[in-house]
A = this chain, B = another copy of it.
Amino acid sequence: MIAKRMQPVLVSARALRGGELHNWLRTISTQPFASEPKSPVIATEIPGPVSQELYRQMNSIQQASSVQLFADYEKSIGNYLADVDGNLMLDIYMQISSMPLGYNHPAMLQVLTDPRNQKIIANRPALGVFPNRDWPEKLKNVLLKKGIAPPGFSHITTMMCGSCSNENSFKNIFIWYAEKQRHGKSFTKEEMDSCMINQVPGSPKYSIMSFEGAFHGRTLGSLSTTHSKYIHKIDVPAFDWPIAPFPRYKYPLESNESENKQEDDFCLAKVEYLFDKYKREKHFPVAGVIVEPIQAEGGDNHGSPYFFQKLQQITKKYGGALLIDEVQTGGGPTGKMWCHEHFNLESPPHIVTFSKKMQLGGYYHLEEMKPNQPYRVFNTWMGDPSKLILLEAIIDVILKENLLDRVTRVGNYVLQELKKLENEFSNTINSSRGRGTFIAFNCATSKLRDETIKKLLRKGIQAGGCGNTAIRLRPSLTFTEHHANIFLENLQTILKE
């Protein structure tokens, strides 16, 4: 299906360490695409000897065994990640899906040369108390910009990362839920006193419902809603909050419609059962539900628009808030700024959280979620203006270059080609699925998945796994058919082996 013209260029590590690659990169244009190499450059095993030496240094001062290689970000360019051993990999994982435009994008570098922006970076304010003069305008023109904010949202609270965006959203939901029970009454003395010692009624036993296979972060509140891998959770105390099953579809979707609809209904029935049970039996009313539009870390498990529409209806029926966690899906990779825009919900969810590609964390929320008092959702920094400078540049590029349309087009192409490979190698890979370039497929076994990722790396392609058997694509928004072909062709070669 794909011509064999994109094999990695094998060059000697010695030559590259002599600075050849670096010189070559310097001579080419600074345009993001023109300056990329034509294909990966492999100089050593990965991790190579320099990475291995640096690993030893780093592991002597912290637990570093998760490190895969040491990168050279000065030399990385566009969709290509350079490492310290002279390798230049096509990166379809992009820092766990957090780099929207690839490496060293000129638009991002450009804004950092502006002395006014340098002053913003050097003078980090406590945004909740002393924001800069341009902060309300920046929020409006960047995060709340039409076409950028999810439809229906005019309110925003900024944070720093995905975990703290979810944690603070939980707090916001609890505050909103408690105010509804209070019917406009003031806090009681008993509430004010008891919360200081972590006891009811001031510290109520409210809960947040989450789903099996979910990933929402790793701090103690968000970790209580994460259920993707035991190693994230073992030995850490957790809140006893309800956990519902998330749909697990059979693929291809078009030939399993009725079975998948049954799966949706089964999961939805369980959600409704848990709302009822936690209120009546456990006396922990469910204040809200947190859900990913696509369970990413858990294996790229998709839910149908029908599932999300009904989930919203059930959540409303029981007086809860719906929190859609778009930390990994937000910012464009599904072909829309926000994945839940694919679901045609009858109204916006209560909260949408973000981080990663958005550079800073935070959440959009309905006006009704705005707490009546200050200092309830608050911390020293409340986000980071230095990240909004970068996000502003990123959004300009997304809009000017119509990157979301490109993501849709390239994603459709990749999915179509993956399905062809699936048919060709049906004992080895299956269940190709995705929206935009947010794509995954399963391997027959975990072992085969891990081996395939290693073989891709040997061919100069940095991919990532998720769940037990899935390989996920998380390329930048500047990923093209050209890059896709390099990936597809090498995957085909590996599958043939």
Question: Are the C-beta atoms of B65 and A374 separated by less than 8 Å?
Answer: yes
Question: Are the C-beta atoms of A135 and B70 separated by less than 8 Å?
Answer: yes
Copies per assembly: 2
Residue interface mask A379-399, B partner, CB < 8 A = 1: 111000010001000000000
Per DSSP, chain A at the interface is loop
Question: Are the C-beta atoms of A233 and B196 separated by less than 8 Å?
Answer: yes
Question: Are the C-beta atoms of A160 and B161 separated by less than 8 Å?
Answer: yes
Question: Are the C-beta atoms of A121 and B121 separated by less than 8 Å?
Answer: yes
Q: Given A67-B129, A160-B161, A202-B230, decide whether A73 and B236 contact each other with a Cβ distance below 8 A.
A: no
List of 10 A-B pairs having minimum Cβ-Cβ separation, nearest first: A220-B221, A178-B235, A198-B238, A66-B374, A65-B374, A73-B123, A112-B118, A167-B219, A203-B238, A57-B136
Give chain B residues whose Cβ lies under 8 Å from the Cβ of A74. Answer: 116, 119
Question: Are the C-beta atoms of A230 and B195 separated by less than 8 Å?
Answer: yes
Question: Are the C-beta atoms of A118 and B109 separated by less than 8 Å?
Answer: yes
A356 within 8 A of B: yes
Residue interface mask A199-234, B partner, CB < 8 A = 1: 100111111000010000111111110010111111
Question: Are the C-beta atoms of A72 and B133 separated by less than 8 Å?
Answer: yes
Closest to A196 in B: B227
A163 within 8 A of B: yes
Extra inter-chain contacts (11) besides given A178-B235, A202-B230, CB under 8 Å: A58-B139, A63-B377, A68-B130, A98-B124, A122-B390, A160-B164, A177-B235, A192-B230, A195-B235, A202-B234, A220-B221
A69 within 8 A of B: yes
Question: Are the C-beta atoms of A174 and B236 separated by less than 8 Å?
Answer: yes
Shortest CB-to-CB span from A382 to chain B, Å, is 9
Question: Are the C-beta atoms of A71 and B131 separated by less than 8 Å?
Answer: yes
Q: Which of A35-70 contact B (CB under 8 A)?
A: 50, 54, 57-58, 60-70
Binds B, one of A8-16, A151-159, A304-312, A443-451: A151-159
Q: Jot down 23 A-B pairs with beta carbons below 8 A, ordered by A.
A: A63-B374, A63-B377, A65-B373, A66-B374, A66-B375, A69-B130, A71-B131, A71-B132, A73-B132, A95-B125, A98-B381, A103-B123, A104-B119, A109-B118, A171-B223, A174-B235, A174-B237, A179-B235, A191-B235, A202-B235, A218-B379, A220-B221, A386-B386
A408 within 8 A of B: no
Chain A residues near B (Cβ < 8 Å): 50, 54, 57-58, 60-74, 76, 81, 84, 95-96, 98-99, 103-105, 108-109, 112-113, 115-116, 118-126, 128-133, 135-137, 139-140, 144, 154-157, 160-164, 167-168, 170-171, 174-175, 177-179, 187, 191-193, 195-199, 202-207, 212, 217-224, 227, 229-241, 243, 355-356, 359, 370-381, 386, 390
